[in-house]
Amino acid sequence: MAAPRIDVRKTYKLYIGGEFPRSESGRSYEVAGSDGAPLANAVRGSRKDLRDAVRAARKAFEPWAARTAMNRGQVLYRVAELMEGRRDQFVTEVARAEGLRDARARALVDLSIDRWVWYAGWADKIGQILGSSNPVAAPYFNFTIPEPTGVVGLVASETSSLLGLVSRLAPVVVSGNTTVIIASETRPLPAVTLAEVLATSDLPGGVVNLLTGLKHELLPVLAAHVDVDALDLWGAPPDMQAALETAAADDIKRLARRPRGVADARFDWTDDQAAQRPEWIAAFLEMKTVWHPVGM
């Protein structure tokens, strides 16, 4: 009679610079499902891990921003294709993380895939919407052109483990920014699986870097890091919000946050009108104005 088989448990790691390192600290923490049952151990990222992630994002920024808009759209579409191939795995992880029936989890995964496609379509259009040719009272052409801000620190939604993350991540990278993500502290596992998809897609290493761990340890370091150009504080705990904004102001970071009065737990990520918006791309674009003399 065959001996009982022991399940091979998945080891969840960080995603930095296109690789999956363990934390230099060697720390981890237990992740439980919505029912309190242990699911896995996730890496408890450290300050050094975060600094490494910012360094990787900075290195990847110029090559990624230099890609054509059409190519970035193709890369995002490829992410959607790969997620489609791992759809069942995402459904299982989202269901366990958020305590949902499979049908509901499947609907959220499908929306996450569709959201990548939606933002991929904006890659070569957002410049036409935001850019302009400006009339001036002199013999010059005057153009306004949107350009990516740089390295964006992104604090993932604490309640929507996959759809919320994709909804904030896709508009950041589609325009040429790179990012360092602090994943949901209580529901990080779908985010790490998304990182595995990104690693096997056409997205260059370092464009997206993902850390799991305790937000009260990582967020003050992220907000104060001088090589982070912008912050998306959507998933920041309310009691940390003011301190993080103050730290970000020291080097004048561009800042995005939840609308006032909108709680993360009550936001409807399935509402296409509210949760996928070209304004979310524009939040991390800088407007560059160029003057050029009119030729004779």
What is the per-residue pLDDT across 130-187, written as a single tens digit (0 to 9) for each? 887 878 888 888 888 899 999 999 999 999 999 999 999 999 999 999 999 999 999 9
Q: Does a structural domain hold residue 32?
A: no
pLDDT digits (tens, 9 = 90+) for 191-236: 999 999 999 999 999 999 999 999 999 999 999 999 999 999 999 9
Confidence of residue 296 (pLDDT cuts 50, 70, 90): low
Tell me, yes or no, whether 155 lies in a domain: yes
Interior angle at CA 102, CA 101 and CA 108, nearest 5 = 95
Helices (H), ranges, the chain: 47-66, 69-85, 87-98, 102-122, 126-130, 163-173, 189-199, 215-224, 238-249, 272-275, 278-282
Number of domains in the chain: 1
Residue 16 contacts residue 212 (beta carbons within 8 Å) = no
Question: Domain holding 267: CATH number?
Answer: 3.40.605.10
Is 225 a domain residue?
Answer: yes
Q: Is residue 34 part of a domain?
A: no
Percent of the chain with pLDDT over 90: 78
Q: Let me know if residue 6 belongs to a domain.
A: no
Domain interval for residue 230: 39-293
Do the beta carbons of residue 31 and residue 198 sit within 8 Å?
no
Question: Do residues 175 and 255 touch, judged by C-beta distance below 8 A?
Answer: no
Q: What angle is formed at CA 204 by the lines to CA 252 and CA 118, rounded to 5 degrees?
A: 80
Q: What stretch of H or E contains 42? A: strand 38-43
Residue 4 lies inside a defined structural domain of this protein = no
Per cent of the chain over pLDDT 70 is: 99
Q: Is residue 85 part of a domain?
A: yes
Predicted TM-score of the model (pTM): 0.92
Average pLDDT over the chain, rounded to whole?
93
Q: Is there a domain that residue 255 lies in?
A: yes
pLDDT at 1 over 80: no
